[in-house]
Amino acid sequence: MENRYLVRVPKKDKTGLSWRDMWMEPLPLQKGEIIVEPIDTVRLEKIKRRIPYRQGVWEVDYFYYLNPIKEKEESPFYPYITLWVDQYSGFILSHDLAKPAECISEFQRNFFKLAENRKILPQEILVKKEEAFKLLEPITSELGINLRRVKKLKMLEEAQASMAKFTTGENRDEI
Protein backbone atom coordinates (compact mmCIF):
# COMPACT_ATOMS: atom_id res chain seq x y z
CA MET A 1 0.00 0.00 0.00
CA GLU A 2 3.05 2.28 -0.19
CA ASN A 3 2.39 5.49 -2.12
CA ARG A 4 -1.32 4.70 -2.43
CA TYR A 5 -4.14 6.79 -1.03
CA LEU A 6 -7.69 6.04 -0.04
CA VAL A 7 -9.94 8.20 -2.21
CA ARG A 8 -13.66 8.56 -2.88
CA VAL A 9 -14.45 7.89 -6.54
CA PRO A 10 -17.75 8.78 -8.23
CA LYS A 11 -19.52 6.15 -10.30
CA LYS A 12 -22.49 6.83 -12.56
CA ASP A 13 -25.42 4.51 -12.16
CA LYS A 14 -29.14 4.55 -12.97
CA THR A 15 -29.98 6.79 -10.01
CA GLY A 16 -27.20 9.32 -10.64
CA LEU A 17 -23.87 9.21 -8.85
CA SER A 18 -22.73 6.86 -6.18
CA TRP A 19 -19.43 6.95 -4.36
CA ARG A 20 -17.05 4.14 -3.58
CA ASP A 21 -13.72 3.94 -1.77
CA MET A 22 -10.62 2.95 -3.72
CA TRP A 23 -6.90 2.76 -3.04
CA MET A 24 -5.15 4.67 -5.83
CA GLU A 25 -1.62 5.65 -6.70
CA PRO A 26 -1.18 9.31 -7.70
CA LEU A 27 0.02 10.23 -11.16
CA PRO A 28 3.72 11.11 -11.27
CA LEU A 29 4.45 14.77 -10.62
CA GLN A 30 5.27 16.55 -13.84
CA LYS A 31 7.44 19.61 -13.59
CA GLY A 32 6.63 22.42 -15.94
CA GLU A 33 9.28 23.46 -18.42
CA ILE A 34 11.17 26.58 -17.37
CA ILE A 35 11.10 29.07 -20.18
CA VAL A 36 13.95 31.51 -19.79
CA GLU A 37 12.87 34.92 -20.99
CA PRO A 38 15.24 36.90 -23.20
CA ILE A 39 17.79 38.77 -21.11
CA ASP A 40 17.70 42.54 -20.93
CA THR A 41 21.02 42.93 -22.79
CA VAL A 42 21.14 46.72 -22.35
CA ARG A 43 20.83 46.35 -18.59
CA LEU A 44 23.35 43.50 -18.61
CA GLU A 45 25.93 45.59 -20.50
CA LYS A 46 25.48 48.52 -18.10
CA ILE A 47 26.10 46.23 -15.13
CA LYS A 48 29.13 44.72 -16.85
CA ARG A 49 30.64 48.20 -17.42
CA ARG A 50 29.76 49.71 -14.03
CA ILE A 51 30.68 46.73 -11.83
CA PRO A 52 33.93 45.29 -13.16
CA TYR A 53 35.03 43.45 -10.01
CA ARG A 54 33.71 40.17 -8.59
CA GLN A 55 33.86 39.45 -4.89
CA GLY A 56 32.48 36.73 -2.62
CA VAL A 57 29.89 33.99 -2.96
CA TRP A 58 26.13 34.44 -2.96
CA GLU A 59 23.52 31.81 -2.16
CA VAL A 60 20.08 32.15 -3.72
CA ASP A 61 16.84 30.21 -3.48
CA TYR A 62 13.10 30.79 -3.67
CA PHE A 63 10.40 29.09 -1.63
CA TYR A 64 6.90 29.66 -0.28
CA TYR A 65 6.59 32.35 2.38
CA LEU A 66 4.93 31.12 5.58
CA ASN A 67 2.22 33.78 5.83
CA PRO A 68 -0.50 34.46 3.29
CA ILE A 69 -0.81 37.91 1.75
CA LYS A 70 -4.03 39.62 0.75
CA GLU A 71 -4.04 42.43 -1.76
CA LYS A 72 -7.03 44.71 -2.41
CA GLU A 73 -9.94 42.97 -4.09
CA GLU A 74 -8.05 39.65 -4.27
CA SER A 75 -8.13 36.37 -2.41
CA PRO A 76 -5.24 35.71 -0.03
CA PHE A 77 -2.31 33.74 -1.44
CA TYR A 78 1.01 32.32 -0.30
CA PRO A 79 3.76 34.22 -2.13
CA TYR A 80 7.17 32.98 -3.09
CA ILE A 81 10.11 34.68 -1.42
CA THR A 82 13.48 34.88 -3.14
CA LEU A 83 16.44 35.23 -0.77
CA TRP A 84 19.93 36.35 -1.78
CA VAL A 85 22.45 35.70 1.01
CA ASP A 86 26.17 36.43 1.32
CA GLN A 87 27.80 33.08 2.07
CA TYR A 88 30.63 34.49 4.17
CA SER A 89 28.63 36.73 6.53
CA GLY A 90 25.13 35.24 6.30
CA PHE A 91 23.86 38.76 5.57
CA ILE A 92 20.62 38.84 3.57
CA LEU A 93 21.53 40.91 0.53
CA SER A 94 18.00 41.06 -0.80
CA HIS A 95 14.58 39.47 -0.49
CA ASP A 96 11.66 39.72 -2.86
CA LEU A 97 8.07 38.53 -2.56
CA ALA A 98 6.14 37.51 -5.67
CA LYS A 99 2.92 35.79 -6.60
CA PRO A 100 3.57 32.14 -7.52
CA ALA A 101 2.78 32.84 -11.19
CA GLU A 102 5.27 35.74 -11.26
CA CYS A 103 8.19 34.32 -9.25
CA ILE A 104 10.03 32.81 -12.21
CA SER A 105 9.61 35.85 -14.46
CA GLU A 106 10.80 38.17 -11.65
CA PHE A 107 13.86 36.07 -10.78
CA GLN A 108 16.26 37.57 -13.35
CA ARG A 109 14.99 41.10 -12.72
CA ASN A 110 15.65 40.58 -9.00
CA PHE A 111 19.28 39.74 -9.79
CA PHE A 112 19.68 42.89 -11.91
CA LYS A 113 18.04 45.01 -9.20
CA LEU A 114 20.35 43.57 -6.54
CA ALA A 115 23.49 44.17 -8.61
CA GLU A 116 22.45 47.73 -9.47
CA ASN A 117 21.48 48.64 -5.89
CA ARG A 118 24.50 47.07 -4.17
CA LYS A 119 26.96 47.91 -6.96
CA ILE A 120 28.69 44.59 -6.40
CA LEU A 121 28.78 41.21 -8.13
CA PRO A 122 29.92 37.88 -6.69
CA GLN A 123 32.65 35.61 -8.00
CA GLU A 124 30.25 32.70 -7.59
CA ILE A 125 26.53 32.04 -7.08
CA LEU A 126 25.29 28.82 -5.46
CA VAL A 127 21.79 27.46 -6.12
CA LYS A 128 19.89 24.30 -5.16
CA LYS A 129 17.12 24.26 -7.72
CA GLU A 130 17.66 23.37 -11.35
CA GLU A 131 15.15 26.09 -12.27
CA ALA A 132 17.25 28.77 -10.55
CA PHE A 133 20.33 27.48 -12.36
CA LYS A 134 18.59 27.70 -15.74
CA LEU A 135 17.37 31.23 -15.03
CA LEU A 136 20.74 32.56 -13.89
CA GLU A 137 23.03 30.72 -16.31
CA PRO A 138 22.63 33.10 -19.29
CA ILE A 139 23.36 36.10 -17.03
CA THR A 140 26.25 34.62 -15.06
CA SER A 141 27.99 33.31 -18.17
CA GLU A 142 27.87 36.82 -19.70
CA LEU A 143 29.17 38.43 -16.50
CA GLY A 144 31.91 35.86 -15.87
CA ILE A 145 30.35 34.65 -12.61
CA ASN A 146 30.75 30.99 -11.70
CA LEU A 147 27.33 29.34 -11.16
CA ARG A 148 27.11 26.06 -9.29
CA ARG A 149 24.33 23.73 -8.13
CA VAL A 150 24.75 22.39 -4.62
CA LYS A 151 22.73 20.15 -2.30
CA LYS A 152 22.82 22.54 0.66
CA LEU A 153 22.84 26.31 1.02
CA LYS A 154 24.02 26.57 4.62
CA MET A 155 23.79 30.32 5.19
CA LEU A 156 20.57 30.74 3.25
CA GLU A 157 18.93 27.88 5.15
CA GLU A 158 19.98 29.50 8.45
CA ALA A 159 18.45 32.79 7.31
CA GLN A 160 15.30 30.96 6.22
CA ALA A 161 15.03 29.23 9.62
CA SER A 162 15.49 32.56 11.46
CA MET A 163 12.86 34.17 9.29
CA ALA A 164 10.45 31.30 9.96
CA LYS A 165 10.99 31.67 13.72
CA PHE A 166 10.39 35.40 13.52
CA THR A 167 7.22 35.16 11.43
CA THR A 168 5.75 32.50 13.72
CA GLY A 169 6.69 34.55 16.79
CA GLU A 170 9.09 31.98 18.26
CA ASN A 171 11.95 34.37 18.99
CA ARG A 172 10.21 37.73 19.37
CA ASP A 173 11.35 38.13 23.00
CA GLU A 174 15.00 37.70 21.93
CA ILE A 175 14.93 40.86 19.84
Calculate mean pLDDT across residues 122-127.
98
CATH number, domain containing residue 145: 3.30.420.10
Beta strands in 14-113 (DSSP E): 16-24, 57-64, 80-86, 92-98
pLDDT in tens, 78-93: 999 999 999 999 999 9
> How much is the pLDDT for 127?
98
How many domains, the chain? 1
Residue 169 maps to a domain: yes
pLDDT band at 71 (very low <50, low <70, confident <90, very high): confident
> How much is the pLDDT for 143?
95
Residue 22 maps to a domain: no
Domain of residue 109, residue span: 41-174
Residue 2 maps to a domain: no
> How much is the pLDDT for 171?
59
Residue 172 pLDDT exceeds 70: no
Residue 19 maps to a domain: no
Residue 138 maps to a domain: yes
